[in-house]
Amino acid sequence: MNNAVSGFSKLTKEEKINWIANEYFANPEEAVATIKQYWNNDAKLQQLHDEFTENTISNFYLPMGIAPNFLINGKYYSVPMVIEESSVVAAAANSAKFWSKRGGFKATVLGTEKIGQVHFLFKGNHDKIEQFFKVVKEKLIASTDSLTGNMQRRGGGITSLELRNKTSELHDYFQLHATFETKDSMGANFINSCLEQLAKTLKEEGGNYADFDEVEKDIIVVMSILSNYVPNCIVRVEVSCKVEELAEKKIENPQEFAEKLVQAVRIAEVEPFRAVTHNKGIMNGVDSVVLATGNDFRAIEAGVHAYASRFGKYSSLSHAKIENGMFSFWMEIPLALGTVGGLTSLHPLVKMALEILGKPSAKELMQVVAVTGLAQNFAALRSLTTTGIQEGHMKMHINNILNQYETNPEERKLIKTHFETNTISHSAVVAFIKKIRE
């Protein structure tokens, strides 16, 4: 126990598993059996998954669910969601159905600009570097031609290149700030390759620039990397209806409901502690579609939360109002997504998810993902401001408890009947299981 290992990556898969099993488990055979239980029987499919990442020993399942009846810009979608949390898919489906009867969701992509930067140090005269940039700008862009050709044929490529002087924030620090259009791909590899080429050309051209002295010629490239903050890669989604149309079984007084919901959103706008949880609910919807469609949810998370803080204070992503008897609920979020490249053509379930969505373009996927986030937010706020979140949550969570205690069908029936009329809590369910087993 507690041993370092050298050359772990060089071990075969079998050797890695054995090392882990012997090192960390009292019963290594059982550990090996559990690890292998999650392998796919199809060796070729298993190898595909093994090679998505490194040092793979097994597959980690997450449930893939479907939230149907999403009416977006007049078209129905069944939305695939990959998420482990109970009640999220049910909430999305409820919300989708609710809004499909009230005109559906409207979604508009406001921009698709991606950003990348070459961060470098220039120790010298600032006017000279500005002048140098003017002289070499076209050469810098042209040096990426062999990389951008394909993308340009698809209507994308580098859309702008600027020199940014950041020396007031950090000594000698400058940037090449580039914007990109990457069409249906998320474009991370494309952007990073372009940036590395720009950095190389920048250094070469700097070294040959006659007006620079010897110190100025030595441009120090620190790093070249895309930014996951994409405030101009934005989609706006919204729902609206007359306040009285909000009425349904659980919303007897729609005016009171609408006012409370607007108030709940205002609280999330001004109070960061609430905003984080409010936005977490939105990300329940966003991340689960991002995962199902093989996109990078860490990139999306980082970018969305930066956007939520863009005015210097973390705030709600969504907004709501009542005006002239109309209730409106909307949000704008940055989503850099792809429907080609990456996992999209490799992972069989990702391919299926995209097929279920009708093989969307990246723009269409931005709309679906953002709508799922807004639907999730509406469902959470509706529960929070009416019954409280635990009622629905515990109804769904009860299945996890039943699985944990390996209840049989007869016990499940008894438990479900009992908790139709009694308050569900983890301890109450466990106590009831114990009681019926006595």
- The catalytic site residues sit at 85, 280, 296, 393
Choose between 156 and 373: whose C-beta lies nearer to ligand MEV.
373
Choose between 347 and 393: whose C-beta lies nearer to ligand MEV.
393
Choose between 106 and 280: whose C-beta lies nearer to ligand MEV.
280
Site for ligand MEV in 59-118 (CB under 6 A): 85
Q: Residue 90 CB, nearest distance to ligand MEV (Å)?
A: 12
Q: Residue 424 CB, nearest distance to ligand MEV (Å)?
A: 16
Cα–Cα–Cα angle for 196, 199, 205, rounded to 5 degrees: 140
Look-up: residue for tokens 């220039």? 122
**Could you tell me how many residues of this chain bind ligand MEV (CB under 6 A)?**
9
Site for ligand MEV in 362-381 (CB under 6 A): 380
Q: Residue 268 CB, nearest distance to ligand MEV (Å)?
A: 8
Show the tokens assigned to 316.
């709600």
Stretch that binds ligand MEV, among 138-146, 223-231, 275-283, 337-345 (CB under 6 A): 275-283
Stretch that binds ligand MEV, among 163-171, 274-282, 316-324, 398-406 (CB under 6 A): 274-282
The 10 Å Cβ neighbour count of residue 404 is: 12
Q: Which listed residue (16, 278, 347, 382) binds ligand MEV by CB under 6 A?
A: 278
Q: Residue 57 CB, nearest distance to ligand MEV (Å)?
A: 29
From residue 279 to residue 318, the character string flagging contacts with ligand MEV as x (rule: CB under 6 A) and all else as - is -xx--x----------------------------------
Q: Residue 93 CB, nearest distance to ligand MEV (Å)?
A: 16
389 binds ligand MEV (CB under 6 A): yes
Choose between 251 and 384: whose C-beta lies nearer to ligand MEV.
384
Q: Which listed residue (34, 160, 277, 422) binds ligand MEV by CB under 6 A?
A: 277
Look-up: residue for tokens 């980082």? 302
Show the tokens assigned to 168.
């007031």
320 binds ligand MEV (CB under 6 A): no
Stretch that binds ligand MEV, among 69-77, 109-117, 278-286, 325-333 (CB under 6 A): 278-286
Stretch that binds ligand MEV, among 277-285, 304-312, 339-347, 427-435 (CB under 6 A): 277-285
Q: What is the pairing mode between strands 114-121 and 157-165?
A: unpaired
Q: Residue 264 CB, nearest distance to ligand MEV (Å)?
A: 8
Look-up: residue for tokens 């990959």? 82
Choose between 136 and 261: whose C-beta lies nearer to ligand MEV.
261
What's the per-residue H, E or C state across the chain?
A: CCCCCCCHHHCCHHHHHHHHHHHHCCCHHHHHHHHHHCCCCCHHHHHHHHCCCCCCCCCCCCCEEEEEEEEECCEEEEEEEECCCCCHHHHHHHHHHHHHCCCCEEEEECCCCEEEEEEEECCCCHHHHHHHHHHHHHHHHHCCHHHHHHHHHCCCEEEEEEEEECCCCCCCEEEEEEEEECCCECCHHHHHHHHHHHHHHHHHHHHHCCCCCHHHHCCEEEEEEEECCCCCCEEEEEEEEEHHHHCECCECCHHHHHHHHHHHHHHHHHCHHHHHHHHHHHHHHHHHHHHHCCCCHHHHHHHHHHHHCCCCCCCCCEEEEEECCEEEEEEEEECCCCCECHHHHCCHHHHHHHHHCCCCCHHHHHHHHHHHHHHHHHHHHHHHHCCCHHHHHHHHHHHHHHHHCCCCHHHHHHHHHHHHHCCCCHHHHHHHHHHHHC
Q: Residue 292 CB, nearest distance to ligand MEV (Å)?
A: 17
Choose between 261 and 415: whose C-beta lies nearer to ligand MEV.
261
- Nearest position to ligand MEV, beta carbon: 281
Q: Residue 78 CB, nearest distance to ligand MEV (Å)?
A: 22
From residue 227 to residue 266, the character string flagging contacts with ligand MEV as x (rule: CB under 6 A) and all else as - is ----------------------------------------
Which residue ranges make up the site for ligand MEV (CB under 6 A)?
A: 85, 277-278, 280-281, 284, 380, 384, 389
